[in-house]
Amino acid sequence: MKSGTPQGGIISPILANMALDGLETRLKQTFSASQRKRRRTKLHMVRYVDYFIVTGYSREFLEKEVKPQIETFLAQRGLKLSINKTRIIHVEEGFDFLGFSIRRYSNKLLTKPSRESFKSLLDKIRASIKSHPTAKSLNLIRLLNPVIIGWSNYYRHTLPKWYLRMLTMLFGPLCRAGQKDGIPRNVCND
């Protein structure tokens, strides 16, 4: 008989939140006791369910001081860091977090949709079009609009012009084909 909670189960995010509760406080108490120390370490933590990122002023600081603190905290709760998912990198190399690609380009921090996220959107669009080969343009537009609008709304604060142009290039021919079928222009603009 197996015990434990299945990953991806309904209770899993709640348990992860309960287990990680207090990690940020522990890190702040250990490394940011004073205002001066807080500015020097540049230690910050962002957490979402069982995903979290910790930033600091140097790789050595994160590897030698912060990571052992996190491992100790998790060990007290019977958990450990995943070797495959744990990375210590410079922000100029960039990393993906919750579908966003975060990277610094010449002293400017840019957040944009990750390549995997954009590829996933394109795969959904392709699958919808292929699964409805005889559908009229209007029906395809009505089918794809919520998918594209939902994706765009999720990334609305970071969506670069390039992604919007790509979506227009993909969706534009479908709208033009629909206009030949007698679909009003405002349907494509919803």
User: Rounded to whole angstroms, how far apart are CA atoms 4 and 174?
Assistant: 48
Share of the chain above pLDDT 70, in %: 83
pLDDT tens digit string along 51-109? Answer: 888 888 888 988 898 899 999 999 998 888 888 888 888 888 888 888 888 888 888 88
Contact, 27 vs 4, CB < 8 A?
Answer: no
Select the more confidently predicted residue: 156 or 37: 156
Per-residue model confidence (pLDDT) at position 1:
45
Distances (CA, A) of 25 to 21, 30, 66, 113: 8, 9, 13, 30
User: Rounded to whole angstroms, how far apart are CA atoms 25 and 73?
Assistant: 11
Q: Which of helix, strand or coil describes residue 114? A: coil
pLDDT tens digit string along 97-135? Answer: 888 888 888 888 888 888 999 899 888 988 888 888 888
Could you tell me the pLDDT band of residue 8, with boundaries at 50, 70 and 90? low
Contact, 114 vs 101, CB < 8 A?
Answer: yes
Per-residue model confidence (pLDDT) at position 145:
85
Could you tell me the pLDDT band of residue 180, with boundaries at 50, 70 and 90? low
